[in-house]
Structure 1
């Protein structure tokens, strides 16, 4: 895997938008099915920008998978972040859904421990390349990176069928949040 740069951004947004277009948690934030793919792409754009500033963005060597990693304690509020937040509201969440999105984020933060973590915000593989071990190779490399940093890996998933895949890598479910769907909290220490 390699650390991605801005030349890789369009490809990473393509991979993650396609990978998450049917994801309950992403669709909860993206709201209306109208222009859904554009809204999801806007969410992935926001997440990419946040991770470039306060984490890492990775692309698999074959360029078929991507991961966004955040180090939450590094995240700061500044003018550029406020501008990104406004752009997210306008292009993804919608003004009418700001309260719902803020409540969701607040609930998630309450369930996450206040430790320095390797927060795997998104990992995705091109849908036509899934099942070939590409995501597993990327996950193994991410785990090695987290170990070098001596940070536990944390993530959430709303896709119940993904939990056995995460468990293969040593993740355990440590909590669950019921929104209009179930969000499962996993960690790997």
Structure 2
């Protein structure tokens, strides 16, 4: 827990996101990922990064929301959002070719014409490394920077992994920070592959978790 960490005195719970919270969730995730190496590589202009990332996370939620439980929150009873996780169930992580084409104009608006090729490189690299075996996929987990280290993100991960363990299902994610690898290893994930982006882009680490009923 860092010196800035102050959890709300009222505590918090974990629940599915509500449609009206999309903008607040996007803003939270934009703050959480403002210093993420991959996001910095795709959006190098720090002055407009959070604004662009908020647009990106609105798009990411739009893809998840048709799925039950696709966007989950740690939030206080009063509606303060603390952390968010995007989950895709087995067989649902990849958009169709038609969906991908339909989102190109929106992604161009986020990353700009010059940044769009880098965003495409990231997506292609992640798709190529993605495992074929059925699994739950965690593409995004973000905690408000003011409370990072307080265990709120851990609670979000633990909630879904308990579900995976009950049903005997596997889980997968990519870590874009080396410092986050030990965090996920505590939950039983292991590094299976290092993903290298072209043109000197930062590495990512594929992480896989088999179900563990005894956890």
Normalization by structure 1: what TM-score? 0.87
Which residues of 2 match residues 79-118 of structure 1 at below 5 A? 82-90=101-109, 92-118=110-136
- Select the structure that is richer in helix: 1
RMSD: 2.2
Question: Partners of 1:116 and 1:136 in 2: how far apart?
Answer: 23
Match of 1:44 in 2: 57
The CA deviation string for residues 62-106 of structure 1, in whole angstroms up to 9 with x for no partner, is 33111011247334438776443321211x122223333223222
Greater mean alpha carbon deviation, residues 9-18 or residues 143-152: 143-152
Match of 1:14 in 2: 27
Question: Partners of 1:184 and 1:60 in 2: how far apart?
Answer: 25
Once the two structures are TM-superposed, the CA of residue 110 in structure 1 deviates from its matched residue by 1.4
Question: Partners of 1:48 and 1:183 in 2: how far apart?
Answer: 22
Which residues of 2 match residues 148-187 of structure 1 at below 5 A? 148=166, 150-179=168-197, 180-187=201-208
Greater mean alpha carbon deviation, residues 11-20 or residues 74-83: 74-83
What is the SS of the residue equivalent to 1:21?
coil
CA contact (8 A) 1:58 1:66 kept: yes
Aligned residues: 188
Which residues of 2 match residues 112-127 of structure 1 at below 5 A? 112-127=130-145
Normalization by structure 2: what TM-score? 0.78
Structure 1 residues 72 and 81: CA distance shift in structure 2, 3 A: farther
Give the one of 14, 39, 45 matched to 1:26.
39
CA contact (8 A) 2:43 2:115 kept: no
CA contact (8 A) 1:27 1:40 kept: no
- Any unmatched runs of 5+ in structure 2? 1-13, 211-215
Query: In terms of Rg, which structure is larger?
Result: 2
- Any unmatched runs of 5+ in structure 1? none
CA contact (8 A) 1:30 1:43 kept: no
CA contact (8 A) 1:65 1:135 kept: yes
Match of 2:71 in 1: 57
What is the SS of the residue equivalent to 2:65?
helix
